[in-house]
Structure formats: C-alpha cells, structure tokens
A and B are shown apart, each in its own frame.
Chain A
C-alpha cells in the first residue's frame, strides 16, 4: 500500500530502481522468506518517511533517498518483514541467529526478582504479536526500520520489556525509579530541602536573590547558545551521568554525525578521519566547552545584568554554596515562569 503523501510516493517511484536492486539482493540471499516486492517497498517507504521526511523542513532529494535506501540494513529488514508476516523459515532463522543473543542480554539485565526467561517469553510474544487490527496481526517486527542493526533494536525491545515487567510487578513505578533497581541504572543524587532558617538568614537569602536570578538567567542563556550536539553531550555527561568512554562510544560509528561533528572541530582529525575518538578527545572537548560557556556566562552577567567583576565572583560563590541544593535552580526557574 503506498503512502498517503503523494510527494513521498513520487520520490519513492523515482528511486524504485535502487529499492528493486536492494530487494533482489535480499531475495537472492533468502529466497524462502516469501517477502513480496510490494511489502518490501512499503516498509522502506515507511522508513524513508520516518527518518527523511518527519520533522524536516524540506523533502529529501532523490539522491538522499537512494543513499538512505543503500544504508538500510536490508538483510535485517528483510528478516523482520518475513517474521512480521509469519514466515516459518524466517522465524527459524531469527531463532537460530538471535535467540542466544536475546538470552544473554536478558540474563545480563534481569535483576534477582525478574527472571530472564520471563523477559524472553514476553519479547517473543511481542515480536510475534497477539493483537489483531483489521485482520492484521500487530507484530513488533513491523516497527523495525532497518536503520540500525536488528540486534541494537532487540536490545531496546528487551530493555522496554524489562521496564514493563518491572512496572507490572511494582505497581507502576516511574521509569526513573525502575532504572535505579534494574540493569545498568544509576542512582540520582538525593536533593535535600533548603532550610531558610531564621530571620537573618531570610534577609540574607532575599538580598542574594538578585544575584541568584542573574546567575540562572545567564547560565540558561549561555547554555542555549550552544548547538544541539554540544547541549546533548553536556546533558549526557552531567544529567545522565554517562562516562567519557560511553560518550566516546556514541561517536565511534564511522557514519555517526557526532563523529563528523568532532572531526569538524579538529584539524588533525579532518586530515585523518579514521582516527578513533577516545575518552581524552571528549575530555578536551569538555574543557573547551566549559571555557566557552563560562566566557559567555560572564559576558551575559556583565552586559545583560550590568554586574561588575566582583559581583560576578559573588554570583559564582553563591551558586557554589547552593550546590548542596540543586533544586534552587528548579525553584528559581518555576518562579521566573
């Protein structure tokens, strides 16, 4: 069934030779999966729509679509389509190739109160699909786009199955609460409530409000001036507690935009694009970024709030004292709103 978007349909038609080429290669490799050219094209069209059209200002060019189609993990997608359609041979192949992997991830993730086997059972049921809509069985496989590897996708499916199982057994705890107890989750630091104490402290608190508000506004403004890559990496590091090697891992894939982004920031890397991005690369980038934000922060305090150098130091010192209560920023933000 073609898409509802006529422009997308035209694009797909224009690139049908590439889609047909990829499809033929899949059929040659797995002739018994029974996937028709139409269902393959439909699935690829959904992936194009999802990654190249949704949330974008302009339509992709035919060349971009061709490149996208060639970048798809076509063997994995072909297997997923066949499994979604209930092909017995494809399921056998899936079981042969990936069951061991599924079991190992489940064992790795499942905590003592959740059995790995329970997770695997739930995942198989989801993958097969028990819900039928308009005569079509809703297999989880139909949500796989081929953009990442099927094993990466399976990791996500298992992780979510684990969250669901945990929620079911713990009366709907939040995702945050769940990740503190399951898998590789980490514990958020506990925020303590600020005690404003007596009258003197209250006056002191009010006197310093001006600096605190200026500090918050300038931090927000200097952080906003960064591009999304920079913001996200800082959030991963500080808010999610990712380690440098975990961030470096994100930039390891040769086609990763994050890798390209790091390379654009280093002349040496532009000369040697194959160079690995190590933890030290991320550390150096963090150092530079902190300096850049601090510069913008001080400029903002000076230009927008008219603060002198000594007052900027007061802002920093006050903010440092407030570190024992990170909620101060949340409270100030909600008051400002």
Chain B
C-alpha cells in the first residue's frame, strides 16, 4: 500500500461526511420526547436564546428524526423567504371564518358536521329573512 503523498485533509472530510451520514450516534427517542412543531419553528427562525436553545441543540444532535424535520423546515424557510421577496403578497378578501370552517368540515367529516356552526347559520338565515320581508 503506497502511503506517500496522501492528502489527509481532503480524504478526512470525505470520511467524516460518510461517518455522519451513517448516523451512528443517533439515539432512540419515544414519540413524546420529540421536539414539537412550535419549538422547531422558533429554533429555525433563530428566536431562541442561548439558554432556550441549549436543550434543543442537544436533542437535535442526538435525534435524527427531529433533525431531519428541522432541516426540511430550514429549507422551506429559505425557499419561501426568497419566493416572498420575488412576489409581493396579495391579500385575499377575508370571508366569514365560520363559513369557511363549516364548508371544510362538511367536506371532510360529512354533511352532519355542518351543525357545528349551526348558530352562525341561524344568524345568517335571520338576516336573509329580514331582507326577504323588506323586499316583500
């Protein structure tokens, strides 16, 4: 084996990379021990102080599952920041949220769930009744 002229620096980078990709340091975590979305979002935005970030950093080093989630969100954060910078946001006109939710719940859970917002629909019906009366 010829060991002369070996470029340790460059080769070692490759080796270290392979070691890290093989993820040998990863521990197993229970579902409840994973970081929640709120914590990951605050971390990705760089909003945690040194004290707050310490346990998060430490968890992300050991938990490939949360690290992977956070990496995806870092990508999304940057991609979206670039996209937002290109295209200014057009605000849609807000609709009555109860209408939106009622429609969505009806679609997802079946027609019966529309009753969740029945109180709102009653008010709408009353308004329509008044209009009808006025027209008459």
Contacts and interface: CB of A to CB of B under 8 A. Distances in A.
Interface of A: 50-52, 54-56, 60, 64, 67-68, 71, 88, 91-97, 99-101, 103-105, 108-109, 121-122, 124-125, 128, 130, 143-145, 147-149, 152-153, 155-157, 159-160, 175-176, 179, 183-185, 188-189, 215-216, 219-220, 223, 228-229, 231-232, 234-236, 238-242, 245-247, 249-253, 255-260, 290-291, 293-294, 297-298, 310, 313-314, 316-317, 319-320, 322-323, 326-330, 333
A219 B52 contact: no
Given A130-B105, A147-B38, A297 B72 contact: no
B62 to A, nearest CB: 9
Which of the four size classes fits the interface of chain B?
35 or more
A214 to B, nearest CB: 13
Contacts of A51: 39, 42, 48, 52
B45 A149 contact: yes
A145 B21 contact: no
A323 B21 contact: no
Contacts of A175: 65, 68-69
B91 to A, nearest CB: 5
A88 B98 contact: yes
Contact of A109 (B11, B49, B76): B76
29 contacts: A51-B48, A52-B51, A71-B47, A88-B98, A93-B94, A124-B101, A125-B101, A125-B105, A153-B38, A155-B73, A159-B76, A179-B68, A184-B75, A184-B76, A231-B61, A232-B67, A238-B17, A240-B71, A249-B77, A255-B47, A255-B49, A256-B48, A257-B53, A259-B46, A290-B12, A294-B8, A316-B8, A326-B19, A333-B22
Contacts of B112: none
Where chain A touches its partner, the secondary structure class is: helix
A298 B9 CA distance: 11
Nearest to A89: B97
A100 B21 contact: no
A252 B46 contact: yes
A163 to B, nearest CB: 9
Interface string B61-99: 100110111011111111111010000011110111110
B97 A245 contact: no
B61 A232 contact: yes
Contacts of B54: 55-56, 228
Contacts of B113: 130
A197 B43 CA distance: 47
A25 B11 CA distance: 58
Contact of B45 (A152, A319, A320, A328): A152
Nearest to A188: B21
A91 B97 CA distance: 6
